[in-house]
Amino acid sequence: MNGAAVRLTPLTARLLLRLVAADGEAVTARRLYEDVWQPAVELPHQDLRNRNEVQKRILELRRAFDRAGPGHGARIVRTGRLPTARGAESTYRLDLADDELDSAAFTRLVGDALRAAPASAVRLLTDALRLWRGRPLTEVRDEEFARAPVRRLTQLRETALRELIAGHTALGRYDLALPVAEQTARERPDDPEAAAALARLNARLRERHGDELLRHTLRGLRVDVVVVRGDLFDQEDANLVVGFSDTFDTSTDDIVISRESVQGQLVDRLFAGRHRLLDDHLRRGLREVTPLATESVRAKPRGRRTRYPIGTAVPVPVGNRRVFALAYSRLGNDLRARSAPADLRLSLERLWPSVAQHGLFRPVAIPLIGAGLSRIVELDHTQLLSLIVETFTESLRQDPAVCPELRIVVRDEELGRTDLSAAEAFLRDADERSPVLPPTGTL
């Protein structure tokens, strides 16, 4: 009582469970004795002694309830009289409010949930199922008097689980509905409806994820690292990162820039083939960047001749998002792009502050940069993926608001050579080793 456990003698505990099973109905002293004591034979002139035994246990029960406060026992364990052919008989019943009996609270919460809208129903059902601590009336569940209430509560719990799955599904929270469906299927392995509900949820989750191959939410931040299969330019809700050379060439003549490259696709798909329009945006973005050198016409007869530092990132506006043109390779005068692991790391380290400043806190999508014509042969696809993830997570230590989601887009032909488990292991280890949190003093 009042949060403290009260120990009852075994017979008194059985008597209490018998009254709980009656669900508020009055039970005669004779019936209580038969159900709780279960006498093997009925002796003559035993009624008075039996009633005395029941009354002793009722008194013990009331004293236990009185520990919650004087008078609680008499209020909760009610005495009545019932006329019978043998004369008036004493009856006893429990008079408990919903918040005083878990089974009553459970029943009320589930009933309220069945009449509520999905969001409220989910809350009510979650509260109800927290009250479930194993099989109801466990000590007497096989007794005749307990079978009906046990069956009712068990069926009500099945209804609660089914409705909780439906509520989460209606709200689009398939990830929360799934563990409930899995639990239901485990508990009822022969129920085709439970198996079908689980199968539908798994299908919806697969459909929702679509081409998503990996998702990890960084500890301490609402920032996701995601790997998806597909095309960079299909990521219409995200800012894009496109690799460039240090001269920021845009002419897709298959001599300076290949039409098949990501740069070439950028010109064709987002600028309708008008590379001069992209040039104008790049020139404006490069005004505040100090060039490293300018090649002569003799040394570099084709393409742009002004060279910018490796790691220069130019945010190019495209509608309401940005394309970050990132210089991570050097275009030789022989028109071959060359880069090295150190160049790529430096470029990525300089990219993320630019994304934080100009990216409007939108998701950012980046290809497996370095896997194409820049010829970074020292790193395989898995190492390139890991380098992107590593530099991004490190940048969050300086600025945790770089973007809400880093989305790495891997093409089908790259997927077979990319071990996603390595990136996942790195993210898990990073969380365990030192959670990604804002620097001291920023909160």
Tens digit of each residue's pLDDT (9 = 90 or more) over 33-57: 888 888 876 666 677 788 888 889 8
| Cα–Cα distance list, 218 to 117, 173, 382, 394 (Å) | 33, 20, 20, 12
Domain borders along the chain are: 10-94, 102-209, 213-433
Reference 349, options 326, 368, 333; nearest CA is: 326
What 3-state class would DSSP assign to 320? coil
Q: Between vectors from CA 65 to CA 64 and to CA 68, what angle results, nearest 5°?
A: 110
Examine domains 10-94 and 102-209 and report if their fold is the same: no
Tell me the C-alpha distance between 314 and 358, whole Å: 9
Non-local CB neighbours of 355 within 8 Å, separated by 6+ positions:
239, 241, 313, 324, 364, 402, 403
How far the first Cα of the chain sits from its last, in Å, is 43
* pTM more than 0.75: no
| Cα–Cα distance list, 32 to 55, 136, 392 (Å) | 10, 20, 71
pLDDT at 318: 93
pLDDT at 441: 41
Alpha carbon 354 to chain centroid, angstroms: 30
Q: Give 108-121 pLDDT, tens digit per residue.
A: 999 999 999 999 99
Residue reference for tokens 């007794």:
143
The residues that bridge with 407 in the sheet, in sequence order, are 226, 365
Helix (H) or strand (E) holding 15: helix 10-21
379 φ, ψ to 5°? Answer: -115, 135
pLDDT at 440: 43
Tell me the C-alpha distance between 401 and 205, whole Å: 28
Contact between residue 324 and residue 355 where contact means Cβ atoms under 8 Å apart: yes
Q: Let me know how long the chain is.
A: 443
CATH architecture, domain 213-433 = 3-Layer(aba) Sandwich (3.40)
CATH architecture, domain 10-94 = Orthogonal Bundle (1.10)
Residue reference for tokens 């409806």:
193
Tell me the C-alpha distance between 285 and 341, whole Å: 26
Which fold would CATH assign to domain 102-209? Answer: 1.25.40
Residues with pLDDT less than 70, the chain: 1-5, 41-45, 85, 207-210, 252-257, 372-375, 433-443
